[in-house]
Amino acid sequence: MLTAAFIWGVAFVAQRVSLDHIGALTFNGLRFAIGALSLVPLTFLFKPSGLSRQQASWKGALVPGLIAGVILFTAAGLQQVGLKWTTAGKAAFLTGFYILLVPFFGFFLKRRPHVGVWIGAGLALVGLYFLSITAEFTMGFGDALQLVGALFWTAHILVIDRFSPRLDPLKLSIVQFSVCSVLSLAWGLPSEPFSGAGLQAGLIPLLYAGFGSVGIAYTLQVVGQRGIAPGPAALILSLETVFAALGGGLLLGEQLGPRELLGCALMLAGMVAAQVWPVRKAVPQES
């Protein structure tokens, strides 16, 4: 799980570098196509249990995958386009806001958030202020896109949460990645400059984002969550924001000032609070 978080964190750096060579939507289209193809062999190795023949079929995953793919296209598009105007570290922290938004919106789905969510939300909102709001009370365009994108990442997680227990998760992922790829390429190729030289220059970030971020990290998450509860799993995965900030500083020379570092720390504290609280409450007390 920690390795998956590291791969996803560094992927923000790869996505940021790719913008110098490949259009944002074209890059998304290509990386999700690579990711979908990389998961196909796994469908022959991992067979879902406890599902009917219809639920485990490609046909069963088609409509839910289409819905999830459209949402994923929007979320990933906002994230990649927003990276033009913000740093990899800030983008990761703002995207990670979904960790708090998921249980918050779950309230409207009759899933009452625990106290830790409200504590975490308060910390994260203060952190968001220090991270992205300037002295003139304005937010950068790239930061705003990342924040709107977090809403769509939230919707994506809730949709996957609804469908994945009743479907083959690999087939559902392949369908949604394919839909996201087609929509991204259909929009990106006609509107963004694309050349063989640009593709060659951005090939390494593209392959990393496709095989690493989608194929390898997704598989590590699936395998890892077999032996760890959802709360601690989400906490470990939230460390991708830290890895993204570190990667942006080490590989891209992106420097965060004291105010922004304080914002990152508060947002991370909010994410941790939202996950640790129910784990702590669930630990039986010794008599």
pLDDT band at 287 (very low <50, low <70, confident <90, very high): very low
Catalogue the long-range contacts made by 254-261 (C-beta closer than 8 Å, 24 or more residues apart): 254/87, 254/88, 254/89, 256/87, 256/89, 256/90, 259/130, 259/131, 260/90, 260/130, 260/131
Which pLDDT score, from 0 to 100, does residue 46 have?
Answer: 80
**Average pLDDT value for the chain:** 84
For 199-217, write each residue's pLDDT tens digit.
999 999 999 999 998 888 8
Q: What is the pLDDT of residues 142-186, one digit of tens each?
A: 999 999 999 998 888 888 878 878 888 889 989 999 999 999 999
**pLDDT of 98 strictly over 90:** no
The model's pTM = 0.84
Q: Is the pLDDT of residue 218 over 90?
A: no
> Which of the two residues, 280 and 251, has the higher pLDDT score?
251
What value does the mean pLDDT take over residues 29-56? Answer: 89
The pLDDT assigned to 81 comes to 94
Q: How confident is the model at residue 234 (pLDDT cuts 50, 70, 90)?
A: low
Contacts of 212 by beta carbon, 8 Å cutoff, 6+ apart: 7, 10, 11, 14
